[in-house]
Chains A and B, each alone.
Chain A
Amino acid sequence: QVQLQESGPGLVKPSETLSLTCSVSGGSISSYYWSWIRQPPGKGLEWIGYVYYSGTTNYNPSLKSRVTISLDTSKNHFSLKLSSVTAADTAVYYCARHGGGMTMVIGWGQGTLVTVSS
């Protein structure tokens, strides 16, 4: 069974870049679509963007100017970079695996809380 695990700093200063990695175990990253999804405290889910194993990406238009998602097949992981963060970027960040192409999320990491604060 494929498992996902997020890792990265839990505290980021305003205006800096948030960087997270999702390690994939129990299966190869060289298939499927992989996404980052976030959830501000007490609020709903927001899709950030996806990367396909080929390297193709697509991002939420509201975040597109600040987001980069990439993958490393040799390490079986994919990564998120979100630049120029503010307090509004404070959230639990989930990495996720899609099924049915990209039409559904069939697997989630446990989530990692990232707080933006000086």
Chain B
Amino acid sequence: QSALTQPASVSGSPGQSITISCTGTSSDVGSNQFVSWYQQHPGKAPKLMIYDVSNRPSGVSNRFSGSKSGNTASLTISGLQVEDEADYYCSSYVSNSVIFGGGTKVTVL
């Protein structure tokens, strides 16, 4: 059960779009539609932003979207805002276990 692979950091200017990748294997990310994404601000608990690859919970901005192709899932943030600066983690559910990615720090320039 290895951690999913995410880039350590991604940056963009306000108003731009950025994409964070999350690469696993055919045994986890590639095996089902149960990929979720979490946002974590410093000193705070994570917050669910995307579930089941591309669904947004109530209250999450539609600037956040998710997708998946093969063993790689992606989170796109459109119209980047200052408050989007945070750490983002992907997660895969498989065989009654949860695997997290290593996390990506998003910086708004």
Contact = CB atoms under 8 A, between A and B. Distances in A.
Interface of A: 35, 37, 43-47, 50, 58, 60-62, 94, 99-100, 102-106, 108-111
Contact of A60 (B34, B51, B97): B97
Contact of A104 (B45, B93, B99, B100): B93
Contacts, number: 64
A109 B97 contact: no
* SS of B interface (majority): strand
B1 interface: yes
A35 B45 CA distance: 14
B102 to A, nearest CB: 5
Contacts of A61: 1, 97
Contact of B100 (A46, A99, A103): A46
Interface string B75-93: 0000000000000010101
